[in-house]
Amino acid sequence: MRPKGGDLIYRKWSTELRAGFGFRVQKICLDTGSGCPNRESLTSGGCVFCDSSGGGTGAWLRGESLEDQIARGMKSALGHYKAKACILYFQSYSATYGSPDRFIEAVERATVAARRFVPVVGLSVGTRPDLVHPWVVDYLTSLVRPDFQVWLELGVQTTDEKGLLWLRRGHDLKAVEDCLERCQDSPFSLCAHLIAGIPGEREDQLLRSARWLLDRGVSGLKFHPLYVLKDTPLEGLYRQGDFEPLSMEDYASKVAKVIDLEGSRFVVQRIAADVRGERLIAPKWIEDKNRVIAEIEGRLGCHSMEVKVPVS
């Protein structure tokens, strides 16, 4: 994937969205308080790295309705990003945990609320591989249209069985494989979340995980290092000296290697973590997202793929 000038280029989802629609499209992150089978409650249990917000905004615990969350998200999307359309992202916890009716009703409510601001051109659903039931596949399939993107985002994190155990994921690699087989002929797109820096993993585990997923139909990837949030089991391990986060240089090297060798096969939906403030214990370098991105791109000697945008 090297142009005539010799620079490596990679596919950024934001760029591809702009190319496809002709204008800025912004994700609106939503929290339905759906919970997770790997948690004791919304505020306790779960994976070693997961805090009470369930990997999302914490809006549900603050008592914000879907309509309130959308209004807040649109303020940023319209004011800062000048977006002309949105994708609804059911981010927190495991969005498909619970009854089909509850999830479908949430999607419909959110769509109605968002359309008061801008057109809704897509849906992205974050969940666990062991919660992709046949009804999930059928419902997402029914939503796919040429002008409406549907993404199923899977919290895979690693394809190393020992790594899954260390993270306390509550599922094995067979659950991931079964999920991908269930989705194999579906028209919606698959994006997998991957974590770098799990103790005891191979030096090239991030690349191994990416290749395993890409070979099974995944077309989008999200990367972040294993980081320590306040009030998580991982914080205890970190305080005891039993966990040491990756350096920025090591993380950048791992991600750059995946893009260098496999970048033509997937869309980069996220290349760095997006967390800051008092929730974050370590490593503090992830707060400077632009610096992390620059470090990765500098190692590649690359720029994101430039695609001509049609005139709207």
Section 208-213 average pLDDT: 98
Say if residue 1's pLDDT is above 50.
no
Tally the domains of the chain.
1
Interatomic CA distance for residues 105 and 101, integer angstroms: 6
What's the CATH code of the domain at 193? 3.20.20
- 18-62 pLDDT per residue, tens: 999 999 999 999 999 888 888 766 666 679 998 877 667 888 889
Residue 1 resides in a domain: no
Lowest mean pLDDT among 78-82, 127-131, 182-186, 272-276: 272-276
Q: Is residue 238 part of a domain?
A: yes
Rounded to two decimals, the pTM is 0.91
Residue 271: which residues within 8 A CB-CB, separation 6 or more? Answer: 223, 255, 292, 293, 296
Whether 310 is covered by a domain: the verdict is no
- Give residue 121's domain range: 9-304
| Residue 311 in this model has a pLDDT that exceeds 70 | no
pLDDT in tens, 99-146: 999 999 999 999 999 999 999 999 999 999 999 999 999 999 999 999
17 part of a folded domain = yes
- The secondary structure of 109-151 as a DSSP string is HHHHHHTTTS-EEEEEEEE-GGG--HHHHHHHHHH-BTTBEEE
Model pLDDT, residue 2: 45
Residue 3 domain flag: no
Tally of CA atoms within 13 A in the half-sphere of 83 that contains its CB:
23
Q: Is residue 50 part of a domain?
A: yes
- Residue 90 included in any domain: yes
Is 140 inside any structural domain? Answer: yes
Give the Cα separation of 69 and 174 in Å (integer).
35
